Amino acid sequence: MSIVLFQNTHLIYNPAAGQIRRHPEWLHNSIRILEQSGCRITAHPTRGPHDATRLAREAARAKASLIVVAGGDGTINETLNGMADSAAALAALPAGTANVLCRELGLGTRMERAAQRLRACEPVAVRVGVLETEAGVRRLFLCMAGVGLDAMVVRRVDDGLKQRTGKMAYWVASAGLLSARLPEFDARWSQDGGRFSFLLASRVRNYGGDLSIATRASLRRDDLEVVAFEGSNPVRYLSYFAGVLFGKLDRMRGVRQTAATQLELSPAVGSPSPVQVDGEFAGLLPARISIAPEPVTLLMPRDYR
């Protein structure tokens, strides 16, 4: 199927996203590239947090055949949660800080180049993850859910600093956690499990735009790649980080790596651990992370594996 068949295309974009804010012409050029492929585009700017979910629902009610998101992974996640029950396909253009999904798919980090590459992409039924907390939160995710340490970092990130410095804001937030012990939680999956301070349940290999943690994950698979880290001493994560950088994480003591379709998570020691999905704070444990029953149609390159 060619992108030309997606004539009723709705574009949801975040005007505060870095690339759009600094280079608004990139957005206009990307729209022109898609329109030259036959798409009839209706553009909708978001007005604030969670507005992309509303816009996606409205686009689905308008019988959109394709919903394109220009923003960061958080905006893509909001859109996913608004359109998941519809027949529309989803496509992404990179405009945010990390652009995990676009990097994972090989679309790159420049909007115009990604728009060109979308023209050759194919619609694929993709299984997505879902987070459900005992507090009533239910969030679908395309990329990952993180429990413990990385969700603590996400929760501490200063939005103003993030706007000004991008990824540096995450390193600043991380530094503030080096002096305190990390809360631990219990995780169970497939008759196995343990006690950890950070767990990543991922559908993608890319992490944060620059790193690879769940090295066996793929959006073409039907499960979650689980990477879990033991230890409440944050200094221990310096060695874990080195393992990520040198590709030796799967051989390190204190690291568990497996595939699963469902995880049960509960607090163990200290205050309840937070959870993030696709880079946004999503709640506190207890929670369940699993593969959602219904797939979502995603535009992806034919050579993505």
State pLDDT tens for residues 148-196: 999 999 888 888 878 788 778 777 878 778 778 899 999 999 989 999 9
- Termini Cα distance of the chain: 19
Residue 167 vs residue 250, higher pLDDT? 250
Nearest to 158 by CA among 180, 174, 181, 144: 174
Burial of 267: CB neighbours in 10 Å, binned 0-12, 13-18, 19+: middle
Report whether 290 contacts 263 (CB < 8 A). yes
CATH class of 3-120: alpha beta
Residue 302 vs residue 167, higher pLDDT? 302
Calculate mean pLDDT across residues 116-130.
95
Calculate mean pLDDT across residues 21-39.
94
Between the CA of residue 66 and those of 79, 86, 296, what are the distances in Å?
A: 12, 10, 12
**How far apart are the C-alpha atoms of 151 and 201, rounded to whole Å?**
12
**How far apart are the C-alpha atoms of 13 and 11, rounded to whole Å?**
6
Calculate mean pLDDT across residues 8-16.
96
pLDDT at 20 exceeding the cut of 80: yes
Query: pLDDT per residue over 209-239, tens digit each?
Result: 889 999 999 999 999 999 999 999 999 999 9
Backbone angles phi, psi at 254, to 5 degrees: 95, 0
Structure tokens at 16: 């505060």
pLDDT at 4 exceeding the cut of 60: no
User: Where does the chain hold its CATH 2.60.200.40 domain(s)?
Assistant: 129-291
Structure tokens at 183: 């809360």
Nearest to 145 by CA among 75, 204, 219, 232: 204
Nearest to 278 by CA among 45, 39, 71: 71
User: Where does the chain hold its CATH 3.40.50.10330 domain(s)?
Assistant: 3-120
pLDDT score recorded for residue 3:
59
Q: What confidence category does residue 1 fall into, taking pLDDT thresholds of 50, 70 and 90?
A: very low
**How far apart are the C-alpha atoms of 147 and 201, rounded to whole Å?**
8
User: Is 129-291 assigned to CATH 2.40.10.410?
Assistant: no
Query: pLDDT per residue over 64-110, tens digit each?
Result: 999 999 999 999 999 999 999 899 999 999 998 889 999 999 999 99
Residue 305 CA, chain-centre distance (Å), reads 18
pTM: 0.93
Paired residues of 124 in beta bridges: 298
